[in-house]
């Protein structure tokens, strides 16, 4: 075997190591997605049972034991009708592996399913049951999630209320996590539903294919409405107010369902300033006063919404590395970045950015709020040094982590490049009282090759213009020109591939 000269070996390594490193960066940024199967149509319980034998069972609140027996032996195409009154359960109301079931009350203000000393289970718990309908009832005091539906297809959730009796103080942290929680569902229609006081999210759609979320109300939850790891979602005509955070679209890393084609439009997302009472999960990190959060997301279009009066920020566009603290040696970049985000034609009503996290900063639980407050304070000091007045925090917050920001080495060697590599387009948001401003945090610049930003690195990033506020008419801006990396024609949500009922 020929011996390789030392100089050749050194030169080979000098060339090979950077090439291998660049190759790793390229591969680590490739998203790992599973292409789901898209069903051709949405089949309600009525349609499913059209040519099948159907049964209707009616129960009064005094017939709980009889109702439990019926639930344990359900046949397909059964309608369970609950008369007016309060049905008290000490365990989950469970439906599993049976199709064409309808669970219906006498009205969401007439029929209540209440859980008393019910352990740690979900309230209404549905699994592997296709063409399932639940409507016209209220779910109260579920220990875990109010309504959980998983591993199912063709789900209709219509005209229900999910809430808890703990409405103030530390006791709220003991409320169930989610109000409505369809997960791993294909074809879900969630409409005309109200959720209150959930300790995670009031309305949630996660790891789903084809979701229509409309005409709902979410108030006094930690997060009002959440879309997570979902393909094809149309979210419109919802009112989301008085929560800690209004709307969250987020992807869990390493999940094989990678969000895309998300439309969020014609919603009211205002006054989400309720104190954060979550005891666990990513929403525990959300500062009070946050309107919309887009994290680790791609192919999302946000338009024709009314947004404002959120004390921290109206819209935050964040890389997953900012909102979580992963093990950098174990996690590749893949799905962390937020890209192909199109925000246009929204109505900003003002009244936002007055006090990050309502002024109640918490470095342990909500470090992002602390960082944003530090940047805002430094930015205003910079303005004062120029004889300019202080400003509220910008309406839109962007972390500035582009495709070159590597997690192998937390430096700006491959990051902080000019241009708009993540294809963030913000355009024509001129319908309201104000035209929104955008604060580009530029996290690589804030870090300045360190593990943590400091007051000095923040001040330097602001003074240099790396961390800056973009205003309408700024020389540099996001969207509008191909040289910026995204000209607002690179992506537009195409809508749902199937038809849901119009009402």
Nearest to 341 by CA among 309, 323, 315, 322: 315
Asked whether residue 6 is assigned to any structural domain, the reply reads: no
Contacts of 228 (CB under 8 A, 6+ apart): 204, 205, 206, 207, 248, 249, 250, 251, 252, 259
Same domain, 383 and 290: yes
For residue 453, the model assigns a pLDDT of 87
Nearest to 280 by CA among 175, 139, 143, 162: 175
Same domain, 148 and 234: no
Average pLDDT of the chain?
87
Residue 323 pLDDT exceeds 70: no
Per residue in 355-408, pLDDT (tens digit) is: 999 999 998 889 889 999 999 999 999 999 999 999 999 999 998 877 655 443
Burial category of 9 from C-beta neighbours within 10 Å (exposed 0-12, middle 13-18, buried 19 and up) = exposed
Phi and psi at residue 261, in whole multiples of 5°?
55, 65
Asked whether residue 301 is assigned to any structural domain, the reply reads: yes
Same domain, 298 and 358: yes
Angle at 113 between CA 147 and CA 111, to 5 degrees: 115
Asked whether residue 108 is assigned to any structural domain, the reply reads: yes
Per residue in 250-274, pLDDT (tens digit) is: 988 778 888 899 999 999 999 999 9
The C-alpha torsion from 419 through 424 and 425 to 430, rounded to 10°, is -110
Instruction: Give me the residue label for tokens 């999210």.
Output: 201
Same domain, 323 and 213: yes
Contacts of 242 (CB under 8 A, 6+ apart): 219, 220, 271, 272, 273, 274
Q: By three-state DSSP, how is residue 77 classified? A: coil
Nearest to 358 by CA among 311, 394, 390: 311
For residue 115, the model assigns a pLDDT of 97
Asked whether residue 185 is assigned to any structural domain, the reply reads: no
| pTM reported for the whole predicted model | 0.90
Residue 312 pLDDT exceeds 50: yes
Q: State the average pLDDT over residues 192-216.
A: 97
For residue 252, the model assigns a pLDDT of 84
pLDDT band of residue 112 (cuts 50, 70, 90) is very high
Where do runs of H (alpha helix) occur along 42-191? 45-48, 64-72
Same domain, 138 and 205: no
Per residue in 399-454, pLDDT (tens digit) is: 887 765 544 333 333 334 556 778 888 888 999 999 999 999 988 888 887 778 89
Same domain, 375 and 478: yes
Same domain, 345 and 384: yes
Where do runs of H (alpha helix) occur along 246-336? 320-323
Angstrom CA distances, 76 to 44, 99, 130, 131, 185, stand at 13, 5, 10, 10, 19
Same domain, 279 and 319: yes
Same domain, 226 and 103: no
Q: How many CB atoms lie within 10 A of CB 326?
A: 12
Same domain, 159 and 242: no
Asked whether residue 100 is assigned to any structural domain, the reply reads: yes
Share of the chain above pLDDT 70, in %: 84
Asked whether residue 76 is assigned to any structural domain, the reply reads: yes
β-pair partners for 292: 247, 315
Total domains in the fold of the chain:
2
Domain housing 144: 44-163
For residue 483, the model assigns a pLDDT of 57
Q: State the average pLDDT over residues 73-102.
A: 97
Q: Which of 148-152, 158-162, 203-207, 276-280 has the lowest mean pLDDT?
A: 276-280
Asked whether residue 473 is assigned to any structural domain, the reply reads: yes
Residue 327 pLDDT exceeds 50: no
Per residue in 49-84, pLDDT (tens digit) is: 999 999 999 999 999 999 999 999 999 999 999 999
Rounded CA gap, 225 and 246, in Å?
6
Asked whether residue 207 is assigned to any structural domain, the reply reads: yes
Same domain, 155 and 115: yes
Same domain, 172 and 156: no
Nearest to 464 by CA among 436, 489, 434, 444: 444
């Amino acid at each position: 075997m020929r011996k390789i000269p030392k100089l050749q070996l050194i030169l080979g390594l000098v060339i090979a190591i950077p090439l291998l490193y660049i190759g790793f960066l390229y591969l680590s940024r490739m998203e790992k997605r599973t292409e789901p199967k898209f069903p051709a149509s949405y089949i309600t319980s009525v349609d499913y049972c059209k040519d099948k034998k159907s049964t209707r069972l009616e129960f009064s609140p005094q017939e709980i034991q009889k109702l439990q027996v019926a639930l344990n032996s359900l046949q397909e195409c059964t309608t369970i009708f609950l008369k007016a009154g309060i049905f008290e359960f000490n365990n989950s109301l469970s439906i599993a592996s049976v199709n064409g079931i309808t669970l219906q009350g006498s009205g969401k203000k007439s029929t209540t399913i209440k859980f008393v000393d019910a352990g740690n289970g979900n309230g209404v718990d549905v699994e592997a049951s296709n063409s399932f309908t639940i409507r016209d009832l209220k779910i109260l005091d579920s220990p875990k999630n109010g309504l959980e539906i998983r591993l199912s297809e063709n789900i209709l959730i219509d005209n229900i209320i999910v809430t808890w009796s703990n409405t103030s103080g530390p006791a709220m942290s003991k409320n169930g996590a989610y109000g409505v929680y369809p997960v791993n569902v294909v074809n879900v229609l969630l409409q005309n539903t109200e959720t209150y006081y959930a300790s995670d999210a009031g309305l949630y759609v996660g790891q789903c294919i084809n979701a229509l979320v409309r005409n709902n109300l979410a108030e006094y939850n930690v997060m009002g409405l959440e879309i997570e790891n979902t393909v094809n979602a149309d979210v419109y005509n919802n009112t989301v107010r008085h929560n800690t955070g209004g709307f969250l679209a987020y992807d869990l890393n390493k999940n094989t369902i990678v969000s895309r084609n998300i439309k969020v439009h014609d919603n009211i997302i205002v006054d989400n300033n309720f104190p954060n009472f979550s005891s666990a999960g990513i929403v525990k990190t959300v500062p009070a006063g946050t309107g919309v959060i887009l994290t680790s997301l791609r192919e999302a279009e946000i338009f024709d919404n009314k947004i404002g009066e959120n004390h921290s920020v109206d819209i935050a566009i964040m890389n997953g590395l900012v909102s979580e603290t992963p093990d950098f040696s174990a996690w590749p970049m893949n799905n962390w970045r937020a890209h192909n985000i199109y925000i246009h034609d929204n109505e900003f009503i003002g009244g936002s950015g007055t006090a990050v996290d309502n002024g109640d900063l918490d470095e342990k639980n909500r470090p992002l709020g602390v960082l944003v407050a530090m940047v805002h304070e430094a930015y205003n000091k910079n303005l004062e040094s120029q004889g300019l007045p202080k400003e509220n925090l910008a309406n839109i917050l962007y972390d500035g982590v582009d495709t070159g920001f590597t997690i192998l080495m937390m430096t700006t060697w491959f990051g902080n490049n000019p241009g708009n590599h993540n294809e963030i387009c913000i355009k024509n948001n001129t319908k309201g009282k104000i035209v929104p401003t955008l604060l580009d945090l530029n996290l690589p610049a804030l870090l300045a090759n360190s593990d943590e930003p400091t007051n000095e690195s923040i001040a330097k990033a602001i003074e240099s213009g790396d961390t800056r506020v973009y205003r309408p008419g700024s020389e540099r801006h996001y969207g509008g020109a191909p040289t910026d990396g995204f000209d607002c024609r690179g992506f537009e949500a195409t809508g749902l591939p199937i038809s849901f009922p119009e009402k």
